[in-house]
């Protein structure tokens, strides 16, 4: 079986051959220069993002580290209100990694880029000695154009705004954990990894006044809601019985001792939207494959309106109204629940 050698990262002939013959053709790269030169039409502002992917295992039900890396960066741009255009890719490969697996990942990235409508334009390959990495790590950075007339941010959020989620939660984290632990569910829990830029387009066409969007990846829905509450200084109240959790995820969470609110997602978004647009947004989202599970899960409330049983302010907090009528404060993931989930 062909393997990655240290020399594949050395800058010399075999690295050039790898890039010229295997990597560039798969991605349709036009240049092998160190920089890609891009004609970006000048009307807009540019969004720029980066993420490294260290998920273990690298292949999991519903996806792999390759499409995850492309969709993850596409989604960071999309939820910031930008049209993703160009992606860079940096590989850090462990010596001895299977060339077949590498090519499978390249093909997966190329297919993901095509699906998301972005172009992988520049890249880099490094190889580390055996035992100093873990198969493959991938960094993707991305450039997008900020959509005209769109302004998203925590300062836009007001009491009365509604919170929607675009699909069932916790699927990515559970699919990776299941694969890692040799568990299989029937039906299998598939990662939700998917590009969100198409869905965001649809949403912004329906409602230009969406307040804020985020994709709840590491740390899950709970952590992302907490960030939104913290940054807006308001209180977000969600309803446990409105949370979309599939039976498979619920069962796996019980088995593994996890809370689906803290489990990573890779193909859903949270949006805070004006109350009057909720129904039209949900209807439009459900017409799209990526948004067909979209539901409202709660609302933004004035922190002053919350009974302060403990005497502390509800500003910046997330409250979960439980199925049995109680209320619990949702904090960020405190330490480590699911290492290397993305």
Interface of this chain with its own copies, residues 124 to 163, rule: CB under 8 A: 124, 126-129, 131-134, 137, 139, 141, 143-144, 146
Asked if 205 touches its own copies (CB under 8 A), the answer is: no
Rg (CA), the chain: 21
Contact call for residue 328 and its own copies (CB under 8 A): no
Cα–Cα separations (whole angstroms), residue 259 to 42, 171, 175, 222, 320 = 45, 12, 14, 10, 13
The footprint of its own copies on residues 216-245 (CB under 8 A) is 217-220, 223, 227
Segment contacting its own copies by CB under 8 A, of 35-43, 107-115, 157-165, 299-307 = 35-43
User: Cβ distance 62 to 171 under 8 Å?
Assistant: yes
Q: Are 288 and 198 in contact (CB under 8 A)?
A: yes
Q: How many CA atoms lie within 13 A of 314 on its CB side?
A: 22
Distance (Å, whole) CA 207 – CA 277: 7
Residue 140 C-beta: closest distance to its own copies, Å: 9
Nearer to its own copies, 39 or 186 (CB): 39
How big is the chain, counted in residues? 342
Of 201 and 239, nearer to its own copies (C-beta) is 201
Q: Give the closest residue to 5 by CA, choosing from 201, 15, 50.
A: 15
Nearer to its own copies, 96 or 251 (CB): 96
List 3, 250, 286, 340, residue binding its own copies (CB under 8 A): 340
Binding of residue 315 to its own copies (CB under 8 A): no
Instruction: Give dist(CA 2, CA 98) in Å, integer.
Output: 6
Distances (CA, A) of 341 to 72, 74, 238, 335: 12, 18, 25, 14
Q: Tell whether residue 332 is a contact of its own copies (CB under 8 A).
A: yes
Which residue lies nearer to its own copies by CB, 224 or 278? 224
Which of positions 242-301 make contact with its own copies (CB under 8 A)? 264
Contact status: 50 vs its own copies (CB under 8 A): yes
On whether the CB atoms of residues 77 and 120 are closer than 8 A, the answer is no
Residue 111 CB, shortest distance to its own copies, in Å, is 20
Give the integer Cα–Cα distance in Å for 219 and 236: 17
- Number of chain residues interacting with its own copies (CB under 8 A): 81
Footprint of its own copies on 70-129 (CB under 8 A): 76-77, 79-80, 82, 86, 88-92, 121-124, 126-129
In the complex, what is the shortest distance from the CB of residue 337 to its own copies, in angstroms, rounded to a whole number? 7
């Amino acid at each position: 079986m062909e393997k990655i050698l240290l020399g594949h990262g050395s800058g010399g002939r075999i690295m050039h051959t790898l890039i010229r013959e295997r990597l560039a053709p798969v991605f349709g790269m036009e240049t092998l220069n160190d920089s890609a030169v891009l004609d970006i039409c000048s009307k807009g502002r540019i969004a720029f993002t980066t993420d490294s992917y260290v998920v273990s295992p690298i292949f999991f039900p519903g996806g792999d580290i390759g499409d995850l890396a492309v969709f993850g960066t596409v989604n960071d741009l999309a939820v910031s209100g930008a049209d993703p255009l160009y992606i860079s890719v940096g590989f850090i490969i462990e010596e001895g990694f299977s060339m077949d697996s590498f090519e499978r990942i390249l093909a997966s990235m190329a297919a993901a880029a095509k699906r998301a409508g972005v172009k992988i334009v520049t890249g880099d390959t490094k190889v580390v000695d055996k035992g100093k990495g873990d198969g493959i790590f991938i960094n993707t950075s991305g450039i997008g154009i900020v959509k005209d007339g769109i302004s998203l941010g925590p300062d836009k959020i007001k009491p009365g705004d509604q919170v929607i989620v675009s699909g069932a939660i916790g699927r990515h984290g559970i699919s990776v954990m299941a694969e890692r632990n040799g568990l299989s569910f029937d039906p299998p829990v598939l990662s939700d990894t998917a590009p969100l830029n198409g869905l965001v387009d649809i949403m912004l066409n329906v409602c230009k006044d969406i307040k804020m969007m985020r994709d709840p990846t590491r740390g899950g829905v709970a952590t992302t809601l907490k960030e939104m509450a913290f940054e807006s200084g308001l209180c977000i109240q969600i309803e446990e019985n409105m949370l979309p959790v599939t039976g498979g995820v619920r069962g796996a969470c019980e088995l593994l001792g996890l809370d689906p609110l803290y489990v990573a997602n890779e193909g859903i978004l949270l949006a805070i939207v004006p109350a009057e647009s909720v129904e039209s947004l949900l209807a439009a989202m459900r017409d799209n494959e990526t948004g067909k599970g979209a539901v409202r899960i709660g609302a933004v409330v004035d922190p002053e309106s919350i009974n302060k049983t403990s005497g502390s302010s509800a500003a910046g907090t997330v409250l979960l109204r439980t199925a049995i009528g109680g209320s619990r404060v949702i904090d960020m993931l405190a330490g480590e629940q699911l290492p290397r989930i993305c």
